[in-house]
Amino acid sequence: ARAHVVVVGGGFGGATAAKYLRMWSQGEVDVTLVERNASFVSCPISNLVVGGYRELAGITASYAGLQSKWGVRLINDEATAIDAGKRTVSTAASGTLSYDRLVLSPGIDFLPNAVPGLEGNFERIPHAWKAGPQTVLLRRQLQDMADGGVFVLHIPKAPFRCPPGPYERACVVASYLRRHKPRSKVLVLDANGEIQSKKALFAKVFEGYGGLIEYVPNSELRSVDAATRSAELEFDRIRADVLNVIPPMRAGTIATKAGLPLSNGRWVDVDWLTMEAKGVAGVHVLGDALQPAPAMPKSGHMANQHAKVAAAAILNLLAGEAPNPAPVVMNTCYSFVDDRNVIHIASVHQYDAAKRQPIPVEGAGGLSTVASEAEGRFALAWAKNIWADMLA
């Protein structure tokens, strides 16, 4: 019988895995993708939508190519449960699917009740940490803010989705304010002790915005009040005009309730040679849902790379062969510091047999020296290429 792989989640990890399983098996393996959203909306570049420099339509793409060009069967539905023993996935409206191998790339969900006052109030206090309606909502609130207003951005303790993402957002919002509402301010409340990515570069850019960006480390949220848009810290209570809280997060719910091994109850532990959840045969997990290896970011680029390692290993395992004993993955994260100037960080991670996980390769990768428009062009090309790599 033909092998059947079910993929849950059509984001950076899942869509890439679905396409590459079909491409590399030359159509010999059946692939079903279960995705709750009708189309793909990219988090990368979404901060430019918040700043008013891009439209949501420009970061939205269809799943049609995966179906027509690659023969992936798409089920537009919610996966509700997994039975790893019986090798089945239950869905909300499309019945139960049997699989030979399962790929889970559900991204993140927010920790329930981590910030008292937040639950149920994401209209008043947007996160915009999943791209789509939330991105547009935050954009509208920024537009509606009066000159002289305070945009408060709260960053949770690491690890979180996209280490440079919040700092990029602070810069892009400040860029919009400098041009349109120069008496306003971006107040960055970081639960961490320092900037989590490209530290010296972001610190310099923040400085360049003069008083427009104020960065306050060690500022963990105690609670929020939606009615007054206030943030409660240990020693302070801050009223915001726009309150953008990125909540503490964990692996997507379908992964955390599937009985997979979790670090801190939040992130899935995998065998890095096959991307299988440790001790759970046949369930391969990718992307943001993972307990990361050393210095490995939760990024779209990295999820795309996990997907290729998993797709190759799955095809090996289905053929009764051993997987590649030394996979190498890489990452580049570009960050806009205004509407067109960009900085990047890059790294290469090679599987270390003794440590049984990918380790950053010394001397590979690196950082920008300064922000530049040339890198702005690279960043937009990177996005176009990775969207094509996963969907076209």
Query: Helices H, strands E: what count in the chain?
Result: 9, 27
Residue 298 makes contact with ligand FAD by CB under 6 A: yes
**Which residue of 51, 149, 163, 165 would you call a contact of ligand FAD, by CB under 6 A?**
165
Of positions 3, 7, 8, 221, contacts ligand FAD by CB under 6 A: 8
Return the residues of window 311-370 that contact ligand FAD according to CB under 6 A: 333-334
248 binds ligand FAD (CB under 6 A): no
**What phi-psi label fits residue 99: left (phi over 0), alpha (psi between -120 and 50 degrees) or beta?**
beta
**Considering the complex, what minimum distance in angstroms separates the CB of residue 129 from ligand FAD?**
5
Determine which residue in the list 5, 12, 272, 273 makes contact with ligand FAD, applying CB under 6 A: 12
Mark 57-86 with x for binding to ligand FAD (rule: CB under 6 A) and - for no binding.
---------------------xx-------
- 50, 141 Cβ separation under 8 angstroms: no
Give residue number: closest CB to ligand FAD. Answer: 11
44 binds ligand FAD (CB under 6 A): yes
Q: Is 301 in the site for ligand FAD (CB under 6 A)?
A: yes
Of 149 and 287, the one with the shorter C-beta distance to ligand FAD is 287
Token code pair at residue 333: 């994260």
Asked if 103 and 284 count as a contact pair (C-beta separation under 8 A), the reply is yes
With binding defined as CB under 6 A, does residue 105 bind ligand FAD?
A: yes
Closest to ligand FAD by CB, 266 or 301: 301
Tell me the closest approach of the beta carbon of residue 353 to ligand FAD, in angstroms: 26
Pick the piece of the chain touching ligand FAD (CB under 6 A) from 59-67, 269-277, 281-289, 352-360: 281-289
Residue 250 binds ligand FAD, judged by CB under 6 A: no
Q: CA-CA distances (angstroms) from residue 377 to 45, 168, 170, 316, 384?
A: 12, 16, 20, 38, 11
Determine the interface stretch with ligand FAD among 38-46, 66-74, 149-157, 208-216 (rule: CB under 6 A).
38-46
For residue 388, what is the DSSP state?
H
100 class by beta-carbon count within 10 Å (0-12 exposed, 13-18 middle, 19+ buried): middle
Dig out the tokens for 97 from the structure. Answer: 């699917």
Q: Rule CB under 6 A: is residue 163 a binding residue for ligand FAD?
A: no
How many angstroms separate the Cα of 345 from the Cα of each of 23, 258, 330?
30, 34, 11
Residues between 190 and 209 that touch ligand FAD (CB under 6 A): none
State the nearest-atom distance from the C-beta of 109 to ligand FAD, in Å.
8
Check binding of 229 to ligand FAD (CB under 6 A): no
> Residue 65: CB partners within 8 Å, gap ≥ 6?
391, 392
DSSP 60: E
Whether the Cβ atoms of residue 224 and residue 125 lie closer than 8 Å to each other: yes
Count of residues binding ligand FAD (CB under 6 A)? 36
184 near ligand FAD (CB under 6 A): no
Contact with ligand FAD (CB under 6 A): which of 6, 51, 89, 107? Answer: 107
**Quick one: which of 226, 220, 165 has its CA closest to 198?**
165
Beta-strand relationship, 283-285 and 101-104: parallel
Q: Hey, which residues does 5 pair with through a beta bridge?
A: 31, 101
Q: Which of 5, 29, 43, 115 binds ligand FAD (CB under 6 A)?
A: 43
Of the residues 3, 5, 14, 163, which one makes contact with ligand FAD according to CB under 6 A: 14
List, edge to edge, every strand of the sheet that includes 96-98: 79-83, 88-91, 96-98
Minimum Å gap between C-beta 234 and ligand FAD is 26
DSSP-assigned states of every residue in 327-376:
-EEEEEEEEESSSS-EEEEEEEEEEETTTTEEEEPTTS-EE-SS-BHHHH
Does position 305 interact with ligand FAD (CB under 6 A)? The reply is: no
Assess 376 for contact with ligand FAD (CB under 6 A): no
List the end-to-end C-alpha distance of the chain, in Å, as a whole number.
28
E strand or H helix at 23, and its extent?
Answer: helix 12-24
Question: Which two structure tokens, joined as six digits, stand for 65?
Answer: 């190519």
Is residue 288 involved in binding ligand FAD (CB under 6 A)? yes
**Whole-number Å distance between alpha carbons of 80 and 241:** 38
Q: Which stretch binds ligand FAD (CB under 6 A): 159-167, 228-236, 274-282, 314-322?
A: 159-167
Tell me which residues touch ligand FAD (CB under 6 A). 8-14, 34-37, 43-44, 46-47, 78-79, 105-107, 129, 161-162, 165, 252, 254, 287-289, 298-301, 303, 333-334
